[in-house]
Structure 1
Amino acid sequence: MDKVDFLFINVSIGTLPLKASSKIPPLGVLSIASFLEDSGYRSRVVDTARPFFSISWLKDYLASTTPRYIGFTLYTDYLHSIKRLISIIRNVSPASILVCGGPHASICDKSTLSELDVEIVVRGNGEVPSLELLSGKRLSEIAGISYLIKGSYQRNPDSPSHSLDTFPSPDLSLIEPDSAFEYLPAIAPERGCTFRCSFCAAGTLSPKVLFRSMNLLEKDILKLLPMCESKILVLVGDTFTVNPSRVLEFCNMIKKIGGGKKFIWYAEGNVNSIRENPEILSAMYDSGLRFLQFALESGVPSVLKAYNKEVDLDYAIDLVRECARLGIFIHINFIVGGPFESDETISRTKAYARKLIAAGNGYLNMLFPYLTPLPGTDIFDNPEKYGLKILDRDLLSSFAFNNAVVESAALSRGEIIWHRFNIMLDLLGETFAMMKLPDPLRNERCVQASLLAGNFHPAVVADNYIDWNDYFVSGWKGVFAKLPEYHQFLDSAKEPFEQLIPIRTSAVVVNLDGNIDFPHVADDLSPIQSRVLDLSAGKLTAEEIASRLGESFSAVKDALIALEKIGAIIYGSF
């Protein structure tokens, strides 16, 4: 096998069949790899979400390709998985230079260098710094990187912005092949975010929005057209609707090449932007938009103010009603456990959500993630300003916003979990009973609706193994017991039990006795089973959980065995 100059590893938590994969290609590292390949360097992407991936496969691949550089995109949720992979890579490919980019690395560059044992952190967009690394430029001369010299922390000035037109279309052929896995067609029309939400670091990391020119976007889409038949084209980005003239230009372009006839598409929208420019909604629909996502976050104006988020809540109801009339499927996020959360704020948000359900008339889906304070956000840095106390700053009990890690002045962590569980019971049943999915979404079962909301675990499992109704009504009980792939993994796993990584298969709730519990699987868990389940977020090994809890490993092992028998957990290996 040919040698590789720069290998990018897109890390997904877990193992087959439970992967934190959205089926959207890893556009960030793929853009860098495509740019490097276009510049004459051999670059490849390994996506650990693909079914062929295993640690043994990676070891063989590294031995045969001996990459000069190996890069990772680091999100806070993936910190532990990447750290374990790095320890493996150091043994197999010791000459490779390890590089981290992504949100967590960009914000926490100093701690990333020391804790993950990597040589270089690339802050912000990675195309140009990666090329300069390969070209042999001195580290001190490369803008936008941080690194260590004899243990001394060095941080170069930020990299200047580069036009997105500088970079070629992402080349999917650079992802290591596997015929059993198909990505959804996806493009990134822009990068950056103009908003400054107190719970999100996107505006801090990339405050200037960069746009790719329309003629190149057209080429990007035409390249993906064979993948778009009977599928949904995904537009990746937070700020698509903030530039109305560009939206109209995009709609004209995509309609010309088949939008609405050959394929449909998805985008994220901003309620106030559409209120100020209502003509863009009909233009988007006419050109094939059939799935639109809004992040409302709360139905309470004072909470929205704390989030530094401007949303016209009354207009949002009218907008949902109009989307339903047109046949545009809407997904809306509400955060649970946010600033100054109380019984009253949750009750008001539920009442508001019910108005949206009525307005949506079957074209509405909602997700209720927990507030998850992330590095680089004001809530993480100053939780007391928001009436919050962060209980799990390292997010060891949470993955993809699926567990409460804070408490408010009015609500304990357990009360926040209980409230969310009741929201799900009260509202989602009403929502799903009315749901009218566009055919491409129904054909893909629940994958698009879940994955686009960031609910990664359900997306892959429901897409591959259970239908929409069964997934949401029955939960995950018994699903994994029927999967030969999972048992094959356990049979072939070379890791001792201590090193296996338990992963919850559903959200936790709090039962009436105050213990963490697991709906759809068991009515009662013992105290140690509850505590073990709480830390089974795909981040800690069984041995590490025992250490964290101060319990004997044998007691934790017994709890894990009992939890697996009732379908509450499965195991991963990194």
Structure 2
Amino acid sequence: MTQTHETLTTPETRLDGVNRVFFCVAPSTINPQFASYYPPLGLLYLAGTAEAMGKHVTVYDAALKRDSIEKAADTILAADPDLVCITCFTETRFDMQLLAAEIKKRRPQIWIIVGGPHVSFTWEDTLRHTAVDLVAIGEGEAVIRELLAGKPLSEVPGIAYRHDGGIAVNDRPPRVQDLDTLPPPARHLIDMRAYPSARPYKNRCTQVNTNRGCPFGCAYCSATHFWGRKSTQLSAEKVIERITHIHDTYGYDVIFFYDDEFLVNKDRALKLMKLFREKTPWLKWITSVRFDSLNDELLEEMGRSGCQQLNFGLETFNPNTYKLIHRKVNYEKARHFIDKAIRSGVKQAQIYLLIGLPGDDPAGLRRTFLKALSLKATFISTQILRVYPGTIIDTYAHEKRVLPEGFHWYAPYRDGMPNLPTVPIYDEQPRALLVKQYKFLAFYLRVTSLLRRNMPKSLLALYIPLDVFAFRVASKLSGLFKGGADTAERAAAD
């Protein structure tokens, strides 16, 4: 149900007199495991933009602090802001909804704008079912700049707002072509050391974005639709400047290059890695890459320049899924490049797999895991495929009626899973089967990944055949991977 507002909007409405701007990461009370491990770079870019315009800026991460809705509202209102900017994800959409309602209940005249990947694709649901006044769609720097400059809403690109009983939406602004021109993320406005980062680099690692945009368009990811296919980039020199500042100011020696595809421009990547060796010899770094973006030269340079960990989104080896998910992984190429990465000096090679992909079946899933376990990966993880707005999987879910009747993104939703229970499972296959497969596979992978990560690399080649044999026996005995979904479902029910 839409809330009542005192901030009524028309296309000529302006946010005049805004001086105090409060940026907030939505709480994560419903999915407490979805807490902040790294600083909110997108929000910090916007904070930097507002600060460059002379505004008084506050940044607050309610998810990091694990604050309640009431505590978050107390913190925000204590700063007496003129504008509250909230970022949320699909996992925290209900917390954002509750927080916006609480703020409006206590101080209806405050403007609230919400942004991020989730609301960029659900702006209509967001305005119909939450108390926010404005939704920012896509890149937010131009939105913040034009709003704070006092432009009428009709002239602010990339926003949606209520008007005349309906919803008005403005075209997105042109993308930022040169990321060097943006003010840097306002890291000085947060306590960097409060962010734990991920293991095994606890309190030593923070992240940097070096590009925006993804040309690949995988069916389960919204990055291509959020940013666009064309990659826009920080110059190599600006990347060195940023990581040097982070090292000298905050003491971090491990950087996670948190790009959708670090190697989207191979020549730039090679230049960067050579600069790492020349300018930042202390650097240890992590990134995510695709197998079809790699070559031996890149991997050798990664090892020489301090790369500690490569994350590979392998997802599946079942050819029945490739066309449906817009992704294909060649097993021999994966085997070669993971082996090459380890031999080149990369300490950890992590791979990620998905359960429940369209076109997959229990026998195909088992074959994927057998092949994955035969690789020299030091860590293997899996998740059930989830439905996120802005993805092709979201389109499939509506076409195949996977989502409940009458579903909208702010209708109450729980799937009973302990992790991310508010993000819909893509259950084209029987849900009970997917959940049992997940529990079996997740347990098995936790054990083998613990062994793989900690054993000497010289023993990994000896361990892998034993691991494959153990999984072959255990998965067969489980009865969860027999033939098609119907056969496996009957076995799971026994």
TM-score, normalised to structure 2, is: 0.79
Shift of 1:231: 4.5
- 2:331 is the counterpart of 1:318: no
Alignment counterpart, residue 402 of structure 2, candidates 389, 394, 419: 389
Task: Classify 1:15/1:46 alpha carbon distance in 2 versus 1 (closer, same or farther; 3 Å).
Answer: farther
Where does residue 156 of structure 1 map in the other structure? Answer: 170
Q: What are the equivalent positions in structure 2 for 1:230-245 lying under 5 Å apart?
A: 231-245=253-267
Q: Secondary structure at the match of 1:197?
A: coil
Q: Whole-Å Cα distance in 2 between the matches of residues 403 and 124 of structure 1?
A: 21
Shift of 1:56: 5.4
Alignment counterpart, residue 79 of structure 1, candidates 50, 69, 93: 93
Shift of 1:61: 3.3
Aligned amino acid, residue 356 of structure 2 = G
Q: Secondary structure at the match of 1:43?
A: strand
Alignment counterpart, residue 145 of structure 2, candidates 131, 149, 156: 131
Percent identity over paired residues: 25
Q: Whole-Å Cα distance in 1 between the matches of residues 398 and 165 of structure 2?
A: 35
Q: What are the equivalent positions in structure 2 for 1:151-190 lying under 5 Å apart?
A: 151-162=165-176, 163-175=178-190, 177=191, 181=195, 184-190=205-211
Q: Whole-Å Cα distance in 1 between the matches of residues 30 and 250 of structure 2?
A: 28
Q: Whole-Å Cα distance in 1 between the matches of residues 30 and 363 of structure 2?
A: 40
Alignment counterpart, residue 13 of structure 1, candidates 21, 24, 28: 28
Where does residue 247 of structure 1 map in the other structure? Answer: 269
Q: Secondary structure at the match of 1:199?
A: coil
Shift of 1:417: 1.3
Where does residue 526 of structure 1 map in the other structure? Answer: none
- 2:309 is the counterpart of 1:291: yes
Aligned amino acid, residue 263 of structure 1 = L
Moved more, 106-115 or 229-238: 229-238
**In the TM superposition, what whole-angstrom CA distance separates every residue of 1:538-560 from its partner, at most 9, and x where no partner exists?**
xxxxxxxxxxxxxxxxxxxxxxx
Residues 51 and 181 in structure 1, CA contact (< 8 A), matched pair in contact too:
no
Residues 115 and 140 in structure 2, CA contact (< 8 A), matched pair in contact too:
yes
Shift of 1:404: 7.5
**In the TM superposition, what whole-angstrom CA distance separates every residue of 1:79-104 from its partner, at most 9, and x where no partner exists?**
11111111211133322111111112
**In the TM superposition, what whole-angstrom CA distance separates every residue of 1:302-333 from its partner, at most 9, and x where no partner exists?**
21222111322211011111222234211111
Alignment counterpart, residue 293 of structure 2, candidates 269, 273, 280: 273
Aligned amino acid, residue 246 of structure 1 = R
Task: Classify 1:286/1:241 alpha carbon distance in 2 versus 1 (closer, same or farther; 3 Å).
Answer: same
Q: Whole-Å Cα distance in 1 between the matches of residues 100 and 353 of structure 2?
A: 36
Where does residue 467 of structure 2 map in the other structure? Answer: none
- 2:207 is the counterpart of 1:194: no
Q: Whole-Å Cα distance in 1 between the matches of residues 174 and 252 of structure 2?
A: 40
Residues 122 and 145 in structure 1, CA contact (< 8 A), matched pair in contact too:
yes
Q: What are the equivalent positions in structure 2 for 1:22-33 lying under 5 Å apart?
A: 22-33=36-47
Residues 193 and 239 in structure 1, CA contact (< 8 A), matched pair in contact too:
yes
Where does residue 204 of structure 1 map in the other structure? Answer: 225
- 2:436 is the counterpart of 1:418: yes
Q: Whole-Å Cα distance in 2 between the matches of residues 201 and 264 of structure 1?
A: 29
Shift of 1:206: 1.6
Residues 387 and 424 in structure 2, CA contact (< 8 A), matched pair in contact too:
no
Q: What are the equivalent positions in structure 2 for 1:504-519 lying under 5 Å apart?
A: none
Residues 220 and 392 in structure 2, CA contact (< 8 A), matched pair in contact too:
yes
Shift of 1:426: 3.5
**In the TM superposition, what whole-angstrom CA distance separates every residue of 1:497-533 from its partner, at most 9, and x where no partner exists?**
xxxxxxxxxxxxx999959xxxxxxxxxxxxxxxxxx
Task: Classify 1:179/1:384 alpha carbon distance in 2 versus 1 (closer, same or farther; 3 Å).
Answer: closer
Task: Classify 1:63/1:257 alpha carbon distance in 2 versus 1 (closer, same or farther; 3 Å).
Answer: same
- 2:362 is the counterpart of 1:343: yes
Q: Secondary structure at the match of 1:317?
A: helix
Residues 11 and 72 in structure 1, CA contact (< 8 A), matched pair in contact too:
yes
Where does residue 354 of structure 1 map in the other structure? Answer: 373
Alignment counterpart, residue 144 of structure 1, candidates 158, 166, 173: 158
Alignment counterpart, residue 405 of structure 1, candidates 401, 416, 425: 425
Q: What are the equivalent positions in structure 2 for 1:452-491 lying under 5 Å apart?
A: none
Residues 29 and 73 in structure 1, CA contact (< 8 A), matched pair in contact too:
yes
Q: Secondary structure at the match of 1:296?
A: strand
Q: Whole-Å Cα distance in 1 between the matches of residues 284 and 325 of structure 2?
A: 32
Q: Secondary structure at the match of 1:382?
A: helix
CA-based RMSD of the aligned residues comes to: 2.9
Residues 70 and 102 in structure 2, CA contact (< 8 A), matched pair in contact too:
no
Q: Whole-Å Cα distance in 1 between the matches of residues 292 and 162 of structure 2?
A: 45
Task: Classify 1:12/1:436 alpha carbon distance in 2 versus 1 (closer, same or farther; 3 Å).
Answer: farther
Aligned residues: 428
Q: Whole-Å Cα distance in 1 between the matches of residues 142 and 369 of structure 2?
A: 47
Residues 370 and 401 in structure 1, CA contact (< 8 A), matched pair in contact too:
no
Q: Whole-Å Cα distance in 2 between the matches of residues 73 and 313 of structure 1?
A: 38
Where does residue 80 of structure 2 map in the other structure? Answer: 66
Alignment counterpart, residue 350 of structure 2, candidates 321, 331, 335: 331
Aligned amino acid, residue 343 of structure 1 = P
Residues 45 and 184 in structure 2, CA contact (< 8 A), matched pair in contact too:
yes
Aligned amino acid, residue 305 of structure 1 = K
Aligned amino acid, residue 359 of structure 2 = F
**In the TM superposition, what whole-angstrom CA distance separates every residue of 1:5-34 from its partner, at most 9, and x where no partner exists?**
221111241399x55224210000000001
Shift of 1:50: 3.3
Q: Whole-Å Cα distance in 2 between the matches of residues 266 and 130 of structure 1?
A: 31
Residues 66 and 93 in structure 1, CA contact (< 8 A), matched pair in contact too:
no
Where does residue 114 of structure 2 map in the other structure? Answer: 100
Residues 264 and 290 in structure 1, CA contact (< 8 A), matched pair in contact too:
yes
TM-score, normalised to structure 1, is: 0.69
Shift of 1:379: 2.0
Q: Secondary structure at the match of 2:54?
A: coil
Residues 27 and 67 in structure 2, CA contact (< 8 A), matched pair in contact too:
no
Task: Classify 1:60/1:230 alpha carbon distance in 2 versus 1 (closer, same or farther; 3 Å).
Answer: closer
Q: Whole-Å Cα distance in 2 between the matches of residues 405 and 46 of structure 1?
A: 31
Shift of 1:120: 0.9
Q: Structure 2: where are the runs of 5+ without partners?
A: 1-17, 198-204, 457-488
